[in-house]
Amino acid sequence: MLTPMRVFLSGPMGAGKSSVGRRLAERRGVPFVDLDAEIARAAGTSIEALFRREGERGFRRREREAALGLREGACVVALGGGAVLDPVVRHACVDTGALITLMASPAELARRVGAQDGGASRPLLEGDALEGQLAALVEARGEAYAECHAEVRTDGLDVDGACERVQAVVEDLPVPVLLGRRTYRVEIGAGTRARVTDRAAVASGRVVLVRDGGPERPWPEDVRGRLEAAGRDVTVVAIEGTEATKTSATAAQIWDAALAAGVDRDALVVGVGGGVLGDLTAFAASTLLRGVALGQVPTTLLAMVDSSVGGKTGFNRPAGKNLVGTFYQPRFVLCDVETLETLPIEEVRAGLAEVVKSAWLDGEASVAQLERDAEALAACEPDAVVRAIRMAVSLKARVVREDEREAGRRMLLNLGHTIGHGLEAAAHYRGLRHGEAVALGMIAALRVGRALGRGAADGGERLTRLLEALRLPTDLDARLGADALRFIGADKKRRGDQIAFVVPGDPGDTAVVPLSLQTIERAVSR
């Protein structure tokens, strides 16, 4: 469990930011900051006067400076209703604390605002049609208000009731993937699968539950039972979730089963299983009836930190891995670490390769944390695993919000994958787990980096020690043959005779560099 030091309350006027914020600060024993009051104090005049003198643009500039200039330390901050319209402010709040949007119906907002002051001190409200103006204001700000850790409805709640709901979110903070109105949350912890019935409310129709594994895997049946107990109609589709069966034919199994069950556009497709299953399930959802709602309940570490987050879907072709697919975001992701208990420990460790990749991209602090946690992670100790998942998912969420469709920075998430995918394909997707291949691919990428003069001379040795501590393979030279190098040439990031190769240096210093296949081969071959 991670409890952030700072809590930021956003939302329209009348939602309860100030009253709930004061009460929450009292309960947490930290200072309360009303951002509008701070701006007025610094300016030596009222908010209304500032609007008249400087206009909304001038006020928003002051608002950004005040929000970004808050003193260090724990606190609860009531933001002005429009503060989060500035993406810099909004993202800073998400990255440095918990951002909660308080919301109520326009009628309730109008009642509260009218009861307070008739809107007289609200510079963005004019005239008597208060409810309509507030409804329009909320709609206009919908993209910004959606980008938060959670929305808490305050209709029908007193201050203490709203405060309790906010505190519950803060104590079990999800990782949000900020994509405007398509924002979704990744919930990480023990027992999160139990929330599937609540999260499934995003769609009202039939649930198509896609599962992998045999009857010895309890988690798909657990999720199915919860959904049916909640009154949902569930169709189960069992597929073999392996790289060898990651094909269009397997996706067609999902389509055909869903269509035979009579699904409509209100259907929800939920994947319960590993990474291959998640990719295929998401692809099927993105194309079924031209797109229906998708939920992910990943049951492997690799799926939790990689395939379930970010919206990449697809399947393999004979020419290489993941060459056909779409970008399609889920509506919710539930990462329940209890599901890892029934996996072979080697399977869990394989997923740690993607965690190492994320840490190397994130920077020195994350790599050092993994080095401290290495033995605990290798033993699959839950607290260490939750920390690792949260770090990896948080990094991926930040990258995806900047580059959803891999036009730029998101390509960094392919660190280790170009050569890793070649190793998998050369092995015909047997005998080498994806995470194990990524581990080897990262070692190769560090070699390329050193050949190009990037990073410390001992970077490769440091990475190798960390991978070995996590019980991941490091014998690249024994596995790197002509077949693997041939598949690298079919990488989907190839442009002409060059490949957009992710070249790492020191932790936190990674770049995408166009390289010829010959340059890559010379750097990695010994």
Relative to beta strand 332-336, strand 184-189 is: parallel
Q: How far apart are CA 329 and CA 242, in angstroms?
A: 22
Report which of 424, 356, 349, 433 is spatially closest to residue 395, judged by C-alpha positions.
356
Partners of 385 in the β-ladder: none
Residue where one domain finishes, among candidates 172, 196, 228: 172
Distances (CA, A) of 459 to 151, 356, 390, 454: 43, 13, 24, 10
Please report the pLDDT score of residue 449 as a whole number. 96
Give the chain's mean pLDDT.
Answer: 93
For residue 484, name the pLDDT band (cuts at 50, 70, 90): confident
Asked if residue 384 belongs to a domain, the reply is no
Select the highest-mean-pLDDT range: 152-161, 406-415, 510-519. Answer: 152-161
Confidence of residue 125 (pLDDT cuts 50, 70, 90): low
| Gap between the Cα atoms of 13 and 83, Å rounded | 12
> What's the pLDDT score for residue 2?
53
Q: 283 and 164 share a domain?
A: no
The residue-averaged pLDDT of 153-171 equals: 96
Contact 240, 265 (CB under 8 A): no
- State whether 198 and 139 are in the same domain: no
Which pLDDT score, from 0 to 100, does residue 117 have? 57
Sheet holding 75-78, edge to edge: 32-34, 75-78, 6-10, 98-103, 150-153
Instruction: List pLDDT tens digits, range 428-475.
Output: 888 899 999 999 999 999 999 999 999 998 999 999 999 999 999 999
What band does 119 get if pLDDT is binned at 50, 70 and 90?
Answer: very low
Are 157 and 189 members of one domain?
no
Residues 128 and 155 in one domain: yes
Cβ(94)–Cβ(10) below 8 Å: no
Residue 496 has pLDDT above 70, yes or no: no
* Model pLDDT, residue 178: 98
Within a domain: 77: yes
Residue 501 located in a structural domain: yes
Note the pLDDT of residue 1.
44
Q: CA-CA distance, 494 to 397, in Å (whole number)?
A: 25
* pLDDT (average), residues 101-107: 97
> What pLDDT, on the 0 to 100 scale, is given for residue 67?
94
Q: Which residues contact 445 (CB under 8 A, 6 or more apart)?
A: 415, 416, 418, 419, 501, 502, 503, 504
139 vs 231: CA distance, rounded Å:
32
- Look at residue 105 and tell me if it is in a domain: yes
Return all residues near 101 (Cβ < 8 A) that are at least 6 apart: 10, 11, 84, 145, 146, 148, 150, 151, 152
- For residue 175, what pLDDT band results from cuts at 50, 70 and 90? very high
For the chain, percent of residues with pLDDT exceeding 90: 83
Domain that holds residue 217: 184-343
Length of the chain: 526
User: Do residue 150 and residue 82 come from a single domain?
Assistant: yes
Domain count of the fold of the chain: 3
CA distance linking residue 19 with residue 178, whole number of Å: 27
Choose the final residue of a domain: 137, 172, 207.
172
Q: Strand pairing of 494-495 and 498-504? A: antiparallel
CATH number at residue 502: 1.20.1090.10
113 and 223 fall within a common domain: no
DSSP state of 76: E
Q: Which residues pair with 493 in a beta bridge?
A: none
Q: What is the pLDDT of residue 305?
A: 96
Average pLDDT over residues 298-303: 96
Quick one: 229 and 261 in the same domain?
yes
Q: How far is CA 8 from the centre of its chain?
A: 20
In a domain? residue 358: no
Separation between Cα atoms, residue 40 and residue 337, nearest integer Å: 47
Q: With a cut of 90, say whether residue 116 has pLDDT above it.
A: no
The neighbouring-strand residues paired with 207 are 234, 268
Ramachandran area for residue 322 (φ above 0: left; ψ -120 to 50: alpha; else beta) = left
What is each CA distance from 478 to 320, 461, 475, 490, in whole angstroms?
Answer: 21, 17, 6, 22
Any domain includes 359: no
CATH for 94: 3.40.50.300
Report whether pLDDT(327) > 60.
yes
Q: Are the C-beta atoms of residues 309 and 358 closer than 8 Å to each other?
A: no
- Residue 462 within a domain: yes
Are 129 and 216 contained in the same domain? no
Question: What φ, ψ does residue 499 adopt, rounded to 5°?
Answer: -115, 135
Q: What pLDDT score was predicted for residue 492?
A: 54
Are residues 336 and 190 located together in one domain of the fold? Answer: yes
Q: How confident is the model at residue 121 (pLDDT cuts 50, 70, 90)?
A: low
Domain match, 223 and 132 both: no
Give buried/exposed letters for 212-233 (b at 16+ CB in 10 A, else e): bbeeebebbebbbebbeeeebe
CATH number for the domain harbouring residue 188: 3.40.50.1970
Residue 208 has pLDDT above 50, yes or no: yes
Are 377 and 352 spatial neighbours (Cβ–Cβ below 8 Å)? yes
Residue 71: DSSP 8-state: P
My answer on whether 44 and 190 are in the same domain is: no
End of a domain among 115, 142, 172?
172
Phi, psi (deg, nearest 5) at residue 327: -105, 120
Q: Model confidence at 497, in pLDDT bands (50, 70, 90)?
A: confident
- Domain co-membership, 299 together with 431: no
> Is 450 contained in some domain?
yes
Question: CA 265, CA 523: separation in Å to the nearest integer?
Answer: 50
Q: Residue 230 above 60 pLDDT?
A: yes
Distance of CA 383 to the CA centre of its chain: 19
pLDDT band at 490 (very low <50, low <70, confident <90, very high): low
pLDDT digits (tens, 9 = 90+) for 216-227: 789 999 999 999
Per-residue pLDDT band for 493 (boundaries 50, 70, 90) equals low
The dihedral over CA atoms of 145, 147, 148, 149, expressed in degrees to the nearest 10, equals 140
